Chains A and B, each alone.
Chain A
Amino acid sequence: MPSPIIRIDSIVKRYGPLTVLDGLSMNVMPGEKLALIGPSGSGKTTILRILMTLESISGGHIEVDGEQLYHMKKGADLVAADERHLHRMRKKIGMVFQHFNLFPHKCVLDNVTLAPMLTQGATRADAEKRAMDLLDMVGMADKAKAVPAQLSGGQKQRVAIARALALSPKIMLFDEVTSALDPELVEEVLNVMRRLAAETDMTMLLVTHEMGFAHDFADRVLFFDRGKIVEEGGPDEIFRNPKQERTQTFLRKIIAAGHRV
């Protein structure tokens, strides 16, 4: 039995008086594809943002790939991580955002090559070769010289996926990556992710409202509500036969809103 690649141990996250996560614990195994579902404000996106170190935590511990994320050893003590520690830990993790967050002043190719050249010391030639392979995989090689403004939402998101993959992270976080897309553009992004899941052994955490996709994609589904995991299990269990009433209610509402399951 391999040990978990992510161990989240009683994480607390507060924004002022508002407690978003209240002592949440969960583990993720290497290579696992995890879907996080639940109503908005339930804390699922916050988990991803905390793992990407975009938010600070108010309490608890997180271990990623055998090392503390927000803490580091100083002698025998665990102290808050400094920027250098965070920099080292971020190498293990990549993230794709709801609104793509591409760099508007750089062409598609430069968006993908920037980080490998700056953070991994890749030469331009190597970075571009790898970038073209990745752009080819997401079907965007012919747009390498275009700037983001010339792309559709689906195309932007595929570039953003290639950009995150260029750093070869062990863990990829997908934060509602199709929520900002026109309905007809959702499928092209999901197809890329299906291929990714099939062809790599990367650990993937996915926050989504696409229940049909979550069902096909995930090994395990976590249903969040009010900062807690209400129910978890295999996709068939959660989607076909949810045990908790809150899960049932949520899924009914989603179906009523026209989402496929």
Chain B
Amino acid sequence: MSVWSGYLTLILEGALVTLQLTVMGSALALVMAFLAGLGRLSRFFAVRALATTYIEFFRGTSIFVQLFWVYFVLPFAGLTLTPLQAGVLALGLNVGAYGAEVVRGAVKAVGREQTEACIALNLSRFQRMRHVILPQALPLMLPTFCNNAIELLKGTAVVSLISLTDLTFQAQVVRAQTGNTLIPFATILFLYFAMAWAISTVMRWLERRVTRSLDGVRT
């Protein structure tokens, strides 16, 4: 039994790495989603083009390849990252590209008449976005952001390929050392599920909070 408790510690350490990757990756993804999503709505062509290129590139190539580029190819350009940094960067940029389209869609879903009211009240473009459009668009984004965060969590497993000791990597270590597949993989199955469930719970709570002031308001 003491043998298994040692292995369990190993897996829990992996869970911590996965958690770090998910939290930091989501934070980066969120920033990228807003930058690129609002960038696509910019009135400047160059900004729109840049945002579109980012989105299409990171949606159009696999996270696996992106991770290898970030970890193995960037050093040739003089940028060497730790496995954790590389993992956060690749995951954040990848999921951020999906999130950007969520941001854009939600902003566009807020009616044109709201913008017209803002113009008539002489609000600046920034003020329109900050005080009128985004507060109404945010509740529309949250359900899909929740999906994206869970996708990111599950996507973290690819970092085991660059020898980052995440949940999946540790399970493979335990499997190799004990010859037992069922116990380590049943354990990480449960742990992944628990983390995903935690994400949904937090997002549901957020959604309730954000929509409370809008309750029954959207027509």
By a beta-carbon cutoff of 8 Å, the part of chain A in contact with chain B is 52-54, 83, 87, 90-91, 93-95, 97, 99, 101-105, 114-115, 118-119, 147-149, 163-164, 167
Contact = CB atoms under 8 A, between A and B. Distances in A.
Contacts of B120: 52, 54, 90, 93-95, 97, 101, 164
Contacts of B132: 103
Interface stretch (B33-41, B186-194, B211-219): B211-219
18 contacts: A52-B116, A53-B119, A90-B119, A94-B120, A97-B113, A101-B117, A101-B120, A103-B114, A103-B117, A104-B218, A105-B135, A105-B136, A105-B213, A105-B214, A105-B217, A119-B127, A148-B217, A149-B217
B121 interface: yes
Contacts of B114: 101, 103
Chain B interface: which size bin? 20 to 34
A30 to B, nearest CB: 21
B116 A104 contact: no
A115 B217 contact: no
Contacts of B214: 104-105
A54 B119 contact: yes
Contacts of B119: 52-54, 90
A241 B36 CA distance: 61
A115 B213 contact: no
Nearest to A95: B120
B219 A118 contact: no
Contacts of A87: 122, 124
B118 to A, nearest CB: 8
Given A87-B122, A87-B124, A101 B213 contact: no
A183 to B, nearest CB: 20
Contacts of A103: 114, 117, 132
Contacts of B123: 114-115, 118-119
A147 B217 contact: yes
Interface string B131-156: 11001100000000000000000000
A164 B127 CA distance: 17
Contacts of A54: 116, 119-120
Contacts of B121: 94, 114-115, 119, 163-164, 167
A167 B122 contact: yes
Nearest to B124: A87
